Structure 1
């Protein structure tokens, strides 16, 4: 069974699969995706920044994601799941607004007043540390697609096979190193999978 020592090693391995990228912009999904993206950006000598996303949780059980939102994009809701839960998009409107506020706070924390790099006409690689349901990655890809990139790639070390396949509809290319049959959680495929703080993100970006 294959495992990654940590996110940095996973990023190094991903970078080897991305060397044909032409002058890309790397957008990392905080927080864990930043640790994966740093070695990719270093290897490709690429611009690196964050693309902030927020999960939209099911109100009675916020840990259950019913959608996500990324900066510059609209909320992406799992309408089939909402239907099974007996809910409509209007039922999570308050959650969406709350997450918009937290998203804006994190953008200020990570980037200050600087805008995202120009993405139109560029090759863009969206990086994260893994894919479970893929909700935040889907929201991120749709937000980036709206900015008009020349090519949009999703790069992750590990992901659930069904999720990876569903996201091929959103990206021009999906680069993934492992799609284990017995996937249960992203963290199980790393020897070290510490939770990162905002301070960790800023340190990794050289903005502390």
Structure 2
């Protein structure tokens, strides 16, 4: 199977072309899901000339199947469960609770690592473009949508370079708009559609946030 994108920045360039209607608007903010969504979102924010921030959310990997999401945890404690995976694998509540505790600690660590002196952007009454590098099950994005919705945005658009057809359908039920550039009929993982899908580091996230502040 051939890659659709060379890397995350190139995916961001492609995604930005479909979001130009939001360019140069003070009421628009791009929120990236760290870490992999940040290089994609940075390119979109730069192309549109709008503010960039991160929104922290963590996938809850199923025991023995780390890439398979049994749910996701977002900032503020929002938890989304994937009951199909939980019941299908017979995952016990104790295992779920352990995963939630571990990811809550990681969320707190990343909050300190990425924010430093930055405070979270206020999304009340604004148009939010919520971006990641892709969606497989959509559980992580769903947790983010649910958590952000509680903060009172005027409009929320989920935008990704590649996603499963099922994830895109699910997002259309909860977001105000959905942009999925590619929805391959056979979908196993987001990484298979990138030539370079190397891990984005905490330092790269901090650097892109710093550059976004300087160049905006």
TM value normalised by structure 1? 0.91
Residues 115-126 of structure 1 correspond to what in structure 2 (within 5 A)? 115-126=119-130
Extract unaligned runs of 5+ from structure 2. 212-216
What does 1:1-208 correspond to in 2, within 5 Å?
A: 3-21=4-22, 22=25, 23-87=27-91, 89=93, 91-206=95-210
> Is the alpha carbon distance of 1:89 and 1:25 closer, same or farther for their aligned partners in structure 2, counting shifts above 3 Å?
farther
Shift of 1:199: 1.2
Gaps of 5+ in 1: none
Shift of 1:184: 2.1
SS of residue matched to 2:181? strand
Pairwise CA distance, 1:5:
1.8
SS at match of 2:20: coil
Alpha-carbon spacing, 1:44–1:181, altered in 2? closer, same or farther (3 Å):
same
Matches of 1:141 and 1:199, distance apart in 2: 26
Aligned-pair CA distance for 1:54: 1.0
| Cα deviation 1:121-144 (Å, max 9, x = unaligned) | 000011001111111111111111
What is the Cα-based RMSD across aligned positions, in Å? 1.8
Question: SS of the residue aligned with 2:61?
Answer: strand
Change (3 A) 1:16 1:60: closer
CA distance in 2, matches of 1:61, 1:180: 22
Alpha-carbon distance in structure 2 between the residues aligned to 1:189 and 1:62: 19
Q: Scaled by the length of structure 2, what TM-score is found?
A: 0.88
Give the Cα–Cα distance (whole angstroms) in 2 for the partners of residues 85 and 2 of structure 1: 31
